[in-house]
Amino acid sequence: METTLCIIKPDAVKNGFEDKINEKIISSGLKIIKTKKTFLTEEIARNFYKEHASKPFFNELVEFIISGEVVVQVLEGESAIKSYRSLMGATNPDEAEEGTLRKLFAESLSKNAVHGSDSSESAAREIAIMDKIF
Ligand code: CMP
Protein backbone atom coordinates (compact mmCIF):
# COMPACT_ATOMS: atom_id res chain seq x y z
CA MET A 1 0.00 0.00 0.00
CA GLU A 2 1.15 3.50 -0.81
CA THR A 3 0.07 6.92 0.46
CA THR A 4 -0.06 10.28 -1.28
CA LEU A 5 -1.03 13.82 -0.32
CA CYS A 6 -4.08 15.47 -1.85
CA ILE A 7 -5.16 19.09 -1.44
CA ILE A 8 -8.54 20.30 -2.62
CA LYS A 9 -7.59 23.90 -3.39
CA PRO A 10 -9.47 27.14 -2.50
CA ASP A 11 -11.13 27.46 -5.93
CA ALA A 12 -12.70 23.99 -5.71
CA VAL A 13 -13.77 24.47 -2.07
CA LYS A 14 -15.35 27.88 -2.92
CA ASN A 15 -17.11 26.34 -5.92
CA GLY A 16 -18.62 23.58 -3.74
CA PHE A 17 -16.78 20.68 -5.44
CA GLU A 18 -15.36 19.02 -2.31
CA ASP A 19 -17.92 16.17 -2.13
CA LYS A 20 -17.87 15.53 -5.88
CA ILE A 21 -14.07 15.33 -5.86
CA ASN A 22 -14.10 12.93 -2.91
CA GLU A 23 -16.73 10.72 -4.59
CA LYS A 24 -14.39 10.42 -7.60
CA ILE A 25 -11.41 9.66 -5.35
CA ILE A 26 -13.31 6.91 -3.53
CA SER A 27 -14.78 5.39 -6.68
CA SER A 28 -11.28 5.25 -8.19
CA GLY A 29 -10.43 2.78 -5.39
CA LEU A 30 -8.40 5.14 -3.18
CA LYS A 31 -9.16 5.42 0.53
CA ILE A 32 -9.16 8.79 2.34
CA ILE A 33 -7.32 7.94 5.56
CA LYS A 34 -6.87 11.50 6.89
CA THR A 35 -8.79 14.66 6.04
CA LYS A 36 -8.83 18.20 7.40
CA LYS A 37 -10.57 21.33 6.14
CA THR A 38 -8.46 24.28 7.17
CA PHE A 39 -6.61 27.44 6.17
CA LEU A 40 -2.88 26.92 5.52
CA THR A 41 -0.48 29.38 7.11
CA GLU A 42 1.91 31.27 4.85
CA GLU A 43 4.81 29.49 6.55
CA ILE A 44 3.43 26.04 5.74
CA ALA A 45 2.54 27.09 2.19
CA ARG A 46 6.02 28.49 1.44
CA ASN A 47 7.65 25.34 2.82
CA PHE A 48 5.21 23.03 1.02
CA TYR A 49 5.87 24.68 -2.36
CA LYS A 50 9.58 25.44 -1.79
CA GLU A 51 10.72 23.51 -4.88
CA HIS A 52 8.97 26.29 -6.86
CA ALA A 53 10.62 29.13 -4.88
CA SER A 54 12.68 30.33 -7.84
CA LYS A 55 9.74 30.31 -10.28
CA PRO A 56 8.13 33.59 -11.34
CA PHE A 57 4.72 32.35 -10.17
CA PHE A 58 5.86 31.37 -6.64
CA ASN A 59 4.31 34.32 -4.79
CA GLU A 60 1.05 33.93 -6.70
CA LEU A 61 1.04 30.21 -5.87
CA VAL A 62 1.51 30.84 -2.14
CA GLU A 63 -1.01 33.71 -2.04
CA PHE A 64 -3.60 31.55 -3.77
CA ILE A 65 -3.24 28.44 -1.59
CA ILE A 66 -3.66 30.54 1.60
CA SER A 67 -6.49 32.65 0.14
CA GLY A 68 -9.30 30.34 1.29
CA GLU A 69 -10.08 27.05 2.96
CA VAL A 70 -8.46 23.92 1.57
CA VAL A 71 -9.08 20.24 2.29
CA VAL A 72 -5.82 18.42 3.06
CA GLN A 73 -6.05 14.65 2.74
CA VAL A 74 -3.87 11.56 2.84
CA LEU A 75 -4.97 8.94 0.29
CA GLU A 76 -4.02 5.30 0.47
CA GLY A 77 -4.12 2.55 -2.14
CA GLU A 78 -2.19 0.41 -4.60
CA SER A 79 0.16 2.74 -6.52
CA ALA A 80 -1.71 5.64 -4.89
CA ILE A 81 0.70 8.32 -6.21
CA LYS A 82 0.38 7.33 -9.87
CA SER A 83 -3.27 6.42 -9.57
CA TYR A 84 -4.24 9.77 -8.01
CA ARG A 85 -2.12 11.72 -10.53
CA SER A 86 -3.93 10.04 -13.36
CA LEU A 87 -7.30 10.80 -11.71
CA MET A 88 -6.26 14.50 -11.40
CA GLY A 89 -5.21 14.90 -15.04
CA ALA A 90 -2.70 17.38 -16.46
CA THR A 91 -1.69 20.39 -14.32
CA ASN A 92 -3.18 22.75 -16.89
CA PRO A 93 -6.93 22.02 -17.19
CA ASP A 94 -6.79 22.97 -20.89
CA GLU A 95 -4.60 19.89 -21.37
CA ALA A 96 -6.39 17.57 -18.91
CA GLU A 97 -8.05 14.44 -20.23
CA GLU A 98 -11.86 14.06 -20.23
CA GLY A 99 -13.25 12.82 -16.92
CA THR A 100 -10.23 13.90 -14.84
CA LEU A 101 -10.66 16.09 -11.76
CA ARG A 102 -8.94 19.06 -13.38
CA LYS A 103 -10.94 18.76 -16.58
CA LEU A 104 -14.16 18.62 -14.56
CA PHE A 105 -13.46 21.08 -11.76
CA ALA A 106 -10.44 23.35 -12.47
CA GLU A 107 -10.66 26.96 -13.63
CA SER A 108 -7.11 27.61 -14.83
CA LEU A 109 -3.45 26.61 -14.43
CA SER A 110 -3.17 28.41 -11.09
CA LYS A 111 -6.74 27.67 -9.92
CA ASN A 112 -6.47 24.00 -10.82
CA ALA A 113 -8.74 22.50 -8.13
CA VAL A 114 -6.42 19.85 -6.70
CA HIS A 115 -2.83 19.05 -5.81
CA GLY A 116 -1.24 15.61 -5.64
CA SER A 117 2.28 14.44 -4.78
CA ASP A 118 4.38 13.73 -7.88
CA SER A 119 6.79 11.08 -6.49
CA SER A 120 7.32 8.92 -3.43
CA GLU A 121 9.90 11.44 -2.12
CA SER A 122 7.40 14.30 -2.51
CA ALA A 123 4.63 12.25 -0.90
CA ALA A 124 6.79 11.52 2.16
CA ARG A 125 7.88 15.17 2.43
CA GLU A 126 4.39 16.61 1.89
CA ILE A 127 2.70 14.19 4.32
CA ALA A 128 5.34 15.04 6.96
CA ILE A 129 4.71 18.80 6.50
CA MET A 130 0.94 18.37 6.77
CA ASP A 131 1.02 15.85 9.61
CA LYS A 132 0.96 18.63 12.20
CA ILE A 133 -2.36 20.01 10.92
CA PHE A 134 -4.36 16.76 11.18
P1 CMP B 1 0.28 21.92 -8.08
O2 CMP B 1 0.05 20.49 -8.43
O3 CMP B 1 -0.32 22.41 -6.80
O4 CMP B 1 1.85 22.20 -8.02
C5 CMP B 1 2.41 23.47 -8.25
C6 CMP B 1 1.39 24.43 -8.81
O7 CMP B 1 1.92 25.54 -9.47
C8 CMP B 1 0.58 23.73 -9.89
O9 CMP B 1 -0.29 22.80 -9.28
C10 CMP B 1 -0.10 24.91 -10.57
O11 CMP B 1 -1.32 25.27 -9.95
C12 CMP B 1 0.91 26.02 -10.34
N13 CMP B 1 1.55 26.47 -11.58
C14 CMP B 1 2.32 25.73 -12.38
N15 CMP B 1 2.78 26.48 -13.41
C16 CMP B 1 2.25 27.72 -13.24
C17 CMP B 1 2.34 28.92 -13.98
N18 CMP B 1 3.07 29.02 -15.10
N19 CMP B 1 1.67 30.00 -13.50
C20 CMP B 1 0.94 29.91 -12.36
N21 CMP B 1 0.82 28.77 -11.62
C22 CMP B 1 1.47 27.69 -12.07
Name the DSSP letter for residue 77: E
Q: Which atom of ligand 1 is nearest to the CA of 7?
A: 3
Q: Which of 24, 85, 102, 115 is catalytic?
A: 115
Tell me, yes or no, if 115 is annotated catalytic.
Answer: yes
- Candidate from 70, 91, 107, 125 with most ligand 1 atoms within 8 A of CB, to mutate: 91
Model pLDDT, residue 6: 98
- Average pLDDT of adjacent 10-residue blocks, the chain of 134 residues: 98 98 98 98 98 98 98 98 98 98 98 98 98 94
Separation of CA 56 from chain center: 21
Residue 80 is predicted with a pLDDT of 98
pLDDT of residue 83: 98
Say how many Å lie between the CA of residue 128 and the centre of ligand 1.
21
Q: If DSSP codes are grouped into helix, strand and coil, which group holds residue 14?
A: helix
So what's the pLDDT on residue 30?
98
pLDDT for 128: 98
Rounded Cα–Cα distance for residues 37 and 28 (Å):
22
Distance from residue 49's CA to the centre of ligand 1 (Å): 10
Q: What's the pTM value of the predicted model, to 2 decimals? A: 0.98
Q: Is the CB of 110 under 6 A from ligand 1?
A: yes
CB 61 less than 6 A from any atom of ligand 1: yes
Terminal-residue alpha carbon distance, the chain: 21
**Under DSSP, is residue 81 helix (H, G, I), strand (E, B) or coil?**
helix
In 3-state terms the chain splits into helix, strand, coil percentages (rounded to 5) of 50, 20, 35
Which residues make Cβ contacts (< 8 Å) with residue 49, sequence separation at least 6? 58, 61, 62, 65
Long-range contacts of 124-128, Cβ-Cβ distance < 8 Å, separation of 24 or more? 126/5, 126/48, 127/3, 127/5, 127/74
